[in-house]
Structures are given as structure tokens and as C-alpha cells.
């Protein structure tokens, strides 16, 4: 019996102590009519050796491509130390630190994480994580509605430069509570949200404005102007940021005159592997004034009976296990292990290391765009400054080109034509610090081969 330690002797003694004749008898409260005795769809057990071989074969099937897709998930170098420590049993096999005294390691780590995220975003307080970047935006929207007591409209402005999938997730999660998410258009010439696009809401009661930085199209927004416009209209500002970019870019807490009110986003770039899309983690920080409206766990530093410092979960009265139907969110299990990894990652890299990773990604993406734009039929979509993603325009539909590249084991980018038809044959490309000059050159070669072949065909 894999993973079950009971000997025959144990079983007999235990049944005797219970006063039951068999294990099956323990299920006698289940109505006979409902009992099943087999699980036909489940295969026979296999051992660790067999499953290892199986999984190695499956993994091998998906290996070996050079990846230039970003679009919300970024390939970065993850130091070996990060996961060797994160998967230590004491982190990996523990759960929510309900017994603070027996979980000081986890709690102190979260406190350190909160400190790092607060500083990175320029805000006061961070929670201990949400599910992912997309759902964090939904939580931020719900939080903004609670936090902005002066606004009654429950209207939240969402620019088209926010990741389209984030927009969809936000509506799916937060869309049933009478909030109206209103789309703000972007400038096809710059790939950003112009102030003019907000004129439609001039003078209205707006609860919050979402500002992505960078936008999904890679371009950097004029966050100061947008922030100030929002505040002038009594709206809170929800910054949606790539945390790695904040090693270089002005943090949300310093946007405009007063700074953003809530910052959130996807934490994956901070030491979390691509891993088919998850587990990642959503982060969220805010000003102290709004802390009681934050969803998620928060760890605080306090003292023990002897006056010694220690860490504990705090402000739990916001949460579902205390406040139930009136909680700030239903979140319970979060993405703690990813926070462990991110905290170790940030500690290893520090501000300077993070800035170097960010700058290298920025420079590589520029070089990639330069290299690809030498291929006939390929052009930059925007001249706007960008962080580490940019949009290229092709002279023909993107999908077959990407397919052709995949045959060369190059995953060439993200096809924008469904979400942004007004951009034409556009694709989003990304080259992080993991890409070498030779990688970029091979992409260039493959692209020109593919474009030539497609022409012929």
C-alpha cells in the first residue's frame, strides 16, 4: 500500500479499539444505494520508477524550443539556490501558519517579502500573495470599490492596453457585483493610452482607473498624467505592473502628484519558472489607509510573552474564516511557495541584480527588434519607449508565420490580431536576459527563411 504505513497488526488493533469488525464497517453511515466499489476510469497503480519514465517521455516531447513569447509570462534565469531551498520539506510541506509559534520561518519570510514588495512598488503594505496577476486585478477592482467611499458609481475604467486576458478575468471574477468595467481606447500610433481617451468620462463619478505599466503592447504609459487625471476625478489608481520592471521604472507609489493607490500584478518574473502558466502568484500593495480593505493574508511583527519579537498573521478580521460572507475576499489558500521562491530570488539579486536583469531584457528586446526588422516585410509598430516587449508588424498574417517558426523550434511571439485587429498583422515579441546574440540571430535567420517559403507557397 503505497504511502500507507499500516501493518496487518496495526489494523487489527485499531479496529479493536474502535470496536469495528472491518474497515468497511466504518463507512456504514453512507447510504447503501450510493456506495460504489470500483473506480473504473482510474488505471492500475504504477511505481515511482514507471511514472518517472512516463513523465520524462512526456517532458521530452515538449522540450527544446527557443521561446520569444512573453505576453504575461517571462523566461528568466532562476538561480539554482531558489528552488533547492524553496522545496526544502520545511517550506514545501507546511501549510498556512495558523500556529505562529511553530511557523516563524514561513512568517518571517512573508514579512520580508511584504517589505520587499512594498519598497519595490513604493507603497506601504503588501499582502502575502493572491493567485496570479490576472485575478489580482479583479481583487484590486473589488478592493477599490470598497476603499473609495466617496465614489458611488462602481465604474472602473480599464484601458485596452491592459492585457486582454486580464480584462476578461477581471470581468469573470468581479463582474457579478454590479461593477461596470468600461474600456478606454488606445492610440494605434503610440500603443499607449492617451489622456484624450479619458475625455469621455470627464467630470463623471469614477471609482477607479486601471493603469498598466508597461502596457500589454510593451509600450510605457504616461503614468503621471493618467494618475493625476484619476485623482482629479476622485478615482483611485490601480497600477498593474511587472515587478521586474520596477527595478528600473518609477514605482506606482511615485506616479503623478500623489502616487497610485493600489499596485498589483504578476509575480512570476521574480524567480518562478514558466511551468505552463502556473503556479505563479499575484501580488498587491497599497497605502496604509486602505490596509483593512486588502484581500489576502497579511503578516505582522509583534512580540511574544517575553517581549521577544516574532511574527504572526494579522488583521484576520478581513478574511473569510472570520468574516465569512462579509470578508474582503474568499481567498484562503494562496500561492505561498511561489512567494518563498520570489523572496529568495529578490534576496539573491538585490536591487542591482534585478536592475541588471531588467536592463539586459530591455536591451535584448531592442536588439531582437532591430534584427528582425532587417528582414523584409517586418517592421516596428511603435516608436514609443518599451520595457522588454515590443510589437512587430508583418506584411502578412501572423499565424502561419508563427507556425513556420515553430517548425524551426522557435516560438516566435504572440499573435495580436484577434485582440487588436486594428493593428493589422501584429505580433508581440520578447527577449529576456536569457537570450544570446546567437539566439536572436537564429530567430532572424529562421524568420527570413519562413517568410521566403511562405512567399513561394
Partner 1 sequence: MTEPLIFEHSRAGRYARAQAPNVRAELDLPPSLLRKSAPNLPEVSELQAVRHYTRLSQLNFSIDTHFYPLGSCTMKYNPRACNKLAMLPGLVDRHPLAPASHSQGFLQCMFELQEMLKSVTGMKAVSLTPMAGAQGELAGVLMIRAYHHARGDHHRNEILVPDAAHGTNPATATMCGMSVVELPTDADGDVDIAALEKAVGPNTAGIMLTNPSTVGVFERKIERIAKIVHAAGGLLYYDGANLNAILGKVRPGDMGFDVIHMNLHKIFARGRGGRGPGSGAVGVGERLKPFMPIPVVAQEEGKYRWLDERDLPQSIGRLSAFMGNAGVLLRAYVYMRMLGHDGMKRVAEFATLNANYLAARLKAAGFQLAYPGRRASHEFIITLKRLARDRGVTAMDVAKALLDYGYHAPTTYFPLLVPECLLIEPTETESKEALDGFIDAMCDIMERAVRDTEQLKGAPYTLPVRRLDDVRAARKLDVAWRPDSAA
Ligand X SMILES: Cc1ncc(COP(=O)(O)O)c(C=O)c1O
Residue 443 · residue 66 · CB < 8 Å: yes
Non-local CB neighbours of 147 within 8 Å, separated by 6+ positions: 236, 261, 262, 286, 290, 293
433 binds a second copy (CB under 8 A): yes
Residue 275 · residue 128 · CB < 8 Å: no
Q: State residue 347 phi and psi, 5-degree precision.
A: -70, -40
62 binds a second copy (CB under 8 A): no
Residue whose C-alpha is closest to residue 252's, from 118, 158, 71, 156: 118
Instruction: Tell me which of partner 1, ligand X, a second copy, none is bound by residue 346, counting a contact when its beta carbon lies within the kind-specific cut-off of 5 to 8 angstroms.
Output: partner 1
Give, as ranges, the residues between 306 and 325 that touch partner 1 (CB under 8 A).
306, 308-312, 314-315, 317, 319-325
Which residue from 14, 232, 332, 351 is in contact with ligand X, where contact means CB under 6 A?
332
Instruction: Tell me which of ligand X, a second copy, partner 1, none is bound by residue 274, counting a contact when its beta carbon lies within the kind-specific cut-off of 5 to 8 angstroms.
Output: partner 1
Binding segment for a second copy (CB under 8 A), chosen from 82-90, 149-157, 249-257, 406-414, is: 82-90
Give the C-alpha distances (Å, rounded to integers) separating 138 from 110, 144, 165.
22, 10, 12
Binding segment for partner 1 (CB under 8 A), chosen from 149-157, 234-242, 244-252, 374-382, is: 244-252
Instruction: Tell me which of a second copy, partner 1, ligand X, none is bound by residue 306, counting a contact when its beta carbon lies within the kind-specific cut-off of 5 to 8 angstroms.
Output: partner 1
Instruction: Tell me which of partner 1, ligand X, a second copy, none is bound by residue 42, counting a contact when its beta carbon lies within the kind-specific cut-off of 5 to 8 angstroms.
Output: partner 1
79 binds a second copy (CB under 8 A): yes
278 binds partner 1 (CB under 8 A): yes
Give the C-alpha distances (Å, rounded to integers) separating 392 from 46, 316, 397.
48, 47, 12
Rounded least distance, CB 158 to ligand X, Å? 26
Neighbours of 252 (CB within 10 A): 30
Dist CA 242 CA 62 (whole Å): 27
Give, as ranges, the residues between 83 and 122 that touch a second copy (CB under 8 A).
84-85, 87-89
Which residue from 8, 333, 352, 457 is in contact with ligand X, where contact means CB under 6 A?
333
Dihedral sign, Cα of residue 39, residue 44, residue 46, residue 52: negative
Nearer to ligand X, 106 or 148 (CB): 106
Polymer length of the chain: 457
Non-local CB neighbours of 173 within 8 Å, separated by 6+ positions: 135, 138, 139
Enter the C-alpha cell of residue 10.
496495526
Give, as ranges, the residues between 101 and 160 that touch partner 1 (CB under 8 A).
101-106, 108-112, 114-116, 118-120, 124-126, 128-129, 131-135, 142
Enter the C-alpha cell of residue 194.
492617451
333 binds partner 1 (CB under 8 A): yes
Q: State residue 426 phi and psi, 5-degree precision.
A: -115, 145
Nearer to ligand X, 252 or 336 (CB): 336
Give, as ranges, the residues between 172 and 201 that touch a second copy (CB under 8 A).
none
Binding segment for partner 1 (CB under 8 A), chosen from 146-154, 182-190, 361-369, 440-448, is: 361-369
Residue 111 · residue 259 · CB < 8 Å: no
97 binds partner 1 (CB under 8 A): yes
81 binds ligand X (CB under 6 A): no
Which residue from 17, 42, 59, 80 is in contact with a second copy, where contact means CB under 8 A?
80
Using CB under 6 A, list all residues that contact ligand X. Answer: 332-333
Amino acid at each position: 500500500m503505497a504511502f500507507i504505513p499500516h501493518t496487518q497488526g496495526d489494523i487489527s488493533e485499531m479496529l479493536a479499539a474502535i470496536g469495528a469488525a472491518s474497515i468497511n464497517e466504518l463507512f456504514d453511515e453512507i447510504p447503501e444505494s450510493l456506495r460504489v466499489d470500483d473506480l473504473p476510469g482510474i488505471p492500475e497503480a504504477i511505481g515511482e520508477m514507471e511514472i518517472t519514465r512516463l513523465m520524462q517521455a512526456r517532458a521530452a516531447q515538449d522540450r527544446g524550443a527557443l521561446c520569444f513569447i512573453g505576453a504575461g509570462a517571462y523566461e528568466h534565469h532562476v538561480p539554482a539556490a531558489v528552488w533547492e531551498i524553496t522545496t526544502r520539506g520545511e517550506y514545501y510541506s507546511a501549510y498556512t501558519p495558523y500556529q505562529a509559534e511553530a511557523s516563524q520561518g514561513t512568517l518571517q519570510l512573508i514579512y520580508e517579502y511584504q517589505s520587499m514588495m512594498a519598497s519595490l512598488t513604493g507603497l506601504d503594505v503588501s499582502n502575502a500573495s493572491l493567485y496570479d496577476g490576472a485575478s489580482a486585478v479583479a481583487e484590486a477592482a473589488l478592493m477599490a470599490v470598497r476603499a473609495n467611499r466617496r465614489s458611488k458609481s462602481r465604474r472602473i475604467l480599464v484601458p485596452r492596453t491592459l492585457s486582454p486576458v486580464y480584462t476578461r478575468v477581471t470581468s469573470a471574477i468581479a463582474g457579478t457585483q454590479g461593477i461596470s468595467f468600461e474600456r478606454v481606447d488606445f492610440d494605434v500610433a503610440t500603443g499607449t493610452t492617451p489622456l484624450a481617451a479619458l475625455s469621455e468620462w470627464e467630470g463623471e463619478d469614477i471609482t477607479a482607473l486601471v493603469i498598466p505599466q508597461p502596457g500589454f503592447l510593451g509600450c510605457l504609459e504616461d503614468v503621471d498624467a493618467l494618475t493625476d487625471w484619476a485623482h482629479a476625478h476622485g478615482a483611485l489608481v490601480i497600477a498593474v505592473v511587472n515587478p521586474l520592471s520596477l527595478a528600473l521604472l518609477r514605482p506606482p507609489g511615485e506616479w503623478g502628484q500623489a502616487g497610485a493607490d493600489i499596485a498589483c500584478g504578476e509575480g512570476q518574473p521574480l524567480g518562478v519558472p514558466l511551468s505552463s502558466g502556473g503556479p505563479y502568484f499575484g501580488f498587491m500593495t497599497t497605502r496604509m489607509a486602505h490596509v483593512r480593505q486588502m484581500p489576502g493574508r497579511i503578516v505582522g511583527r509583534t512580540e511574544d510573552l517575553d517581549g521577544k519579537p516574532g511574527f504572526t498573521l494579522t488583521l484576520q478580521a478581513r478574511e473569510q474564516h472570520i468574516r465569512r460572507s462579509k470578508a474582503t475576499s474568499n481567498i484562503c489558500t494562496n500561492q505561498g511557495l511561489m512567494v518563498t521562491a520570489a523572496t529568495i530570488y529578490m534576496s539573491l539579486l538585490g536591487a542591482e541584480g534585478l536592475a541588471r536583469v531588467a536592463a539586459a531584457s530591455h536591451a535584448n528586446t531592442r536588439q531582437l527588434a532591430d534584427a528582425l526588422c532587417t528582414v523584409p516585410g517586418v517592421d516596428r509598430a511603435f516608436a514609443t519607449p518599451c520595457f522588454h516587449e515590443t510589437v512587430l508588424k508583418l506584411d502578412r498574417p501572423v499565424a502561419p508565420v508563427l507556425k513556420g517558426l515553430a517548425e524551426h523550434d522557435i516560438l516566435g511571439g504572440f499573435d495580436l490580431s484577434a485582440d487588436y485587429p486594428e493593428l493589422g498583422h501584429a505580433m508581440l515579441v520578447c527577449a529576456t536576459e536569457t537570450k544570446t546574440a546567437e539566439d536572436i540571430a537564429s530567430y532572424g535567420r529562421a524568420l527570413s527563411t519562413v517568410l521566403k517559403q511562405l512567399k513561394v507557397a
